């Protein structure tokens, strides 16, 4: 599990505990879930910006190359 995924899991547990203690409609509960959402957004952002591999770059430039063919099952 990546570092950010571990942090999301920790924040989820903490958010549930805070909401159990202070109530689902409390400011503390809302703030805890906001922290979870921010981490999830960051994780999504990191997944979108992963660098391309050399093969992916090659296939972008040469889509008809044998190495770049996609086969359906």
Query: Please, which pLDDT band fits residue 70 given cuts at 50, 70 and 90?
Result: confident
- At residue 62, the pLDDT reads 92
Give the dihedral sign, CA 19/25/31/34. Answer: positive
pTM score of the predicted model: 0.61
By the 10 Å C-beta count (0-12 exposed, 13-18 middle, 19+ buried), 8 is classed as buried
How far from the centroid of its chain's Cα atoms is residue 7's Cα?
Answer: 11
Encode pLDDT of 8-56 as tens digits. Answer: 999 999 999 999 999 999 999 999 999 999 999 998 888 887 788 899 8
């Amino acid at each position: 599990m990546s570092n950010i995924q571990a942090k999301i899991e920790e924040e989820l547990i903490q958010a549930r505990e805070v909401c159990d203690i202070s109530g689902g409609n409390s400011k503390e509960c809302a703030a805890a879930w906001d922290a979870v959402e921010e981490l999830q957004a960051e994780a999504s952002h990191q997944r979108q910006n992963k660098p391309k591999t050399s093969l992916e770059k090659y296939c972008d430039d040469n889509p008809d190359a044998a190495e770049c063919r996609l086969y359906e099952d």
